[in-house]
């Protein structure tokens, strides 16, 4: 790669931007065929995903459960592969991870962190995984780290020693009741360890109480709220009673 140095005014920020821009454009000019190949591979991946979605549609309105689940799994796996490939493509173009990438990814995924009246709330766009199937949740961890780190740096993130951890398991109302899992089958340690790193002395039972509830809504997610123990009763009063059955 050839970079022309303009040194009349020294190594100013403006000139450094000129060097980077020129090198960036040269890279595109030199790798057009490679870029086109990668783009077309990604287009094929999206076509494959679309085919699986059409297969799911054709199985309605009375699909065989096992076939429907297997087809949905295939679509999800193809999507995972496509996402990973696109991410690697971007990182290759940029020579690494672009600035604020995981913050933007967290926003796209639906990860939200907020503090109100001294209560920290973390919304995750998925249900907590079973203890035997934690792989599918790992894609959220880097983004969650980044969001909590930024919030701690830019705003006042409360710190808790003795506290109550409230976990709301919110299921998509289109799911059957049998989809609701037992609390003791859910893996919470990895997510709580990440949250504790930024706002808790420790998540040990010697310091923390834990409350869990389940309800149904328009989409599945998990909301984790952390508060001083004396605020738990008022927090609980503000919440609608957990629904053990769907309306």
- The pLDDT profile of the chain, 247 residues, written as one tens digit per residue, is 444 444 444 445 544 444 444 455 545 544 788 888 889 999 999 999 999 999 999 999 888 989 998 999 999 899 988 988 898 888 888 888 888 888 888 888 889 999 999 999 999 999 998 887 756 567 788 889 999 999 999 888 999 999 999 999 999 998 888 889 899 889 898 899 999 999 999 989 999 999 999 999 999 999 999 999 999 999 999 886 544 445 5
Q: For residue 225, list its beta bridge partners.
A: 121, 166
Order the strands of the 208-217 sheet from edge to edge: 112-116, 119-124, 221-228, 163-172, 208-217
Contact 169, 216 (CB under 8 A): no
Predicted confidence at residue 222, as pLDDT, reads 96
142: exposed, middle or buried (C-beta count within 10 Å: 0-12, 13-18, 19+)? middle
**Cα within 13 Å of Cα(14), Cβ side:** 5
Please, what is the end-to-end C-alpha distance for the chain in angstroms?
65
Predicted confidence at residue 68, as pLDDT, reads 92
């Amino acid at each position: 790669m050839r970079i022309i140095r303009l040194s009349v005014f020294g190594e100013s920020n403006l000139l450094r931007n000129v060097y980077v821009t020129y090198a960036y454009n040269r890279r595109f000019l030199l790798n057009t065929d490679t870029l086109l190949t990668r783009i077309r591979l990604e287009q094929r991946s999206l076509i494959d995903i679309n085919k699986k979605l059409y297969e799911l549609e054709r199985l309605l309105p009375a699909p065989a459960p096992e076939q429907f689940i297997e087809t949905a799994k295939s679509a999800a796996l193809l999507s995972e592969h496509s996402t990973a490939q696109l991410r690697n493509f971007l990182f290759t173009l940029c020579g690494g991870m672009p600035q604020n990438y995981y913050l933007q990814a967290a926003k796209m995924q639906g990860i939200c962190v907020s503090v109100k009246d001294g209560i920290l709330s973390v919304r995750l766009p998925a249900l907590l995984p079973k203890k035997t199937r934690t792989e599918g949740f790992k894609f959220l961890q880097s983004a969650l780290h980044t969001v909590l780190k930024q919030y701690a740096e830019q705003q006042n993130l409360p710190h808790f020693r003795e506290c109550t951890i409230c976990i709301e398991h919110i299921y998509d109302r289109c799911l059957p009741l049998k989809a609701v899992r037992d609390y003791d089958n859910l893996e919470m340690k990895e997510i709580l360890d990440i949250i504790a790193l930024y706002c808790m002395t420790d998540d040990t039972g010697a310091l923390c109480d834990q409350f869990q509830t389940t309800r149904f809504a328009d989409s599945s997610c998990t909301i984790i709220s952390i508060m001083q123990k004396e605020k738990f009763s008022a927090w609980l009063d503000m919440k609608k009673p957990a629904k053990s059955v769907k309306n």
